[in-house]
Amino acid sequence: MVSTRELLELGYSSSAVSRYRVEGVLTQRRRGVWIFGNPVLSQLGEWHAAVRSAPGTAALGGFDSAAYWKFTRRRRWRRIDVVSDRECRRRFDDMRVAYMGNVAQRSVMVGRLRVLTPAWTLVMLAPRVPVGELTAMIRQAVFLGVLNVDELLSIAAERSRLPGGSNLRAALRAYIDGDEGSDSRLEDDVKLYLPEIDGDPIRQNLRVQVGDKHYRLDLAYEGLKIAVEPGAGHHDEKVEARNNRVRRRALESIGWTLIDIRAADFDADPIRATQPARELILERASILETARAGGAPICNFREQSGEIADG
C-alpha cells in the first residue's frame, strides 16, 4: 500500500501514476491510497487504507478501534470510523471521518497503523452505545489489560461536559459497583414500573455465584433476593430452555425468587404485567422493615415525567 504523496516523493510523476493505473500495476483503493495489483485486503488492510486517506493526523476510532483492541462484541457496522485533527468535508461511502483535537496525543502507533487509545475509544463511543454495553466494554478492556481505569476516570472528571459524559460516568459507576447496567430497552422500561426500596436499589445484570458458577440477574433486589426477568418465557431451543431451568433451580436453592415478565404482556399493559412483581417486592420489603422495628419509609415510586402512577 502506498499513497500518492509517497509516489511523488519517490520521483514518479502524476502521468506515470495514471499510466500504472491504466496498466493495472496500481489500483486505487481510496482517494490518494494505492495498492499494487488488485489484491483482496484484509480487515487490517482496510483500516490502513481508511486512516491513510483521511486528512491531517488521523487514527482509527469508534467501533473499529474497539474491534482492534478486542473489547467489543459487535462484529459488523456500516462504515469505518476514523478521527482526524483536520476538518474533512468530503463524503465517503464506507468511511466516517470525525474531528478530534490532539489526535497524536490521544492515539498510539501500532506498527504502521495509528489507533485511538482504549480510553479515548470509550470516550468516543459513549454517546453512541447504551450504558450496559459501555460497562461491558470497560470490563473486557480491563480484563485484556489494555485499559487503565484511572486514566478513564481522569478523562471523565476533567471533561464532564463531553458528549456522552453522563453515559460514561454511569458506566464507570456500574463497573466500580459491580453492576453491569443494561443494554436492553425492555429492561430499562420495566425498571420504571418497579418500586424503589430504601437501602436496596435495583441492580441490573447483577452477578450471583452459586457454587462454582456465576449467573446474571436482569433486575435484582439484592437485599430482598427478588429478581425480575423481562422477556422471559421465550425459550424455543431445547438446550436454552434446559439451561434456564437449571439456572432457576440453582438460584432458588440459595433463596432467590425469580419473576418472569413476558415482553408481549408488558407491551400490551405494562402496569398489569408488572403488578405481581410490585406486590411481592412491597410485601417482602414491609416484612423486613417490620422485623427491623420501624424506621424511615421503605419505598417510593419513580416519577418519570408523570408517566408512572402511584401504586
What is the tens place of the pLDDT at every residue in 63-100?
999 999 998 877 666 788 899 888 776 666 678 888 88
How far apart CA 147 and CA 171 sit, in angstroms, is 14
pLDDT band for position 236 (cuts 50, 70, 90): very low
Bigger pLDDT: 229 vs 2: 229
pTM of the model: 0.56
Task: Average the pLDDT over 104-126 and give the result.
Answer: 91
Most distant pair of Cα atoms in the chain: their distance: 90
Which cell is 158 given? 476533567
In which band, very low, low, confident or very high, does the pLDDT at 240 lie, cut at 50, 70 and 90?
Answer: low
Which DSSP helix (H) or strand (E) runs through 130?
none
CA-based R_g, the chain, Å? 26
State pLDDT tens for residues 22-44. Answer: 777 777 777 777 777 767 778 88
CA atoms of 81 and 107, how far apart (whole Å): 14
Nearest CA among 211, 113, 220 for reference residue 177: 220
The C-alpha cell of 231 is what?
422477556
Category of 282 on φ-ψ map: left (φ > 0), alpha (ψ -120 to 50) or beta: alpha
Q: What is the pLDDT of residue 293?
A: 58
> Is 179 or 7 the better-scoring residue by pLDDT?
7
Q: Tell me the pLDDT tens digit for each residue of 283-309.
A: 988 888 887 755 545 454 343 333 444
With a cut of 80, say whether residue 251 has pLDDT above it.
Answer: yes
79 and 96 Cβ atoms separated by less than 8 Å = yes
- Over pLDDT 90: what percentage of the chain? 15
Higher pLDDT, 305 or 214: 214
Write down the pLDDT at residue 295. Answer: 54
In angstroms, the Cα distances linking 142 to 52, 115, 151, 284, 300 are 29, 18, 12, 38, 36
H or E stretch including 279?
A: helix 270-291
- DSSP 8-state class, residue 128: T
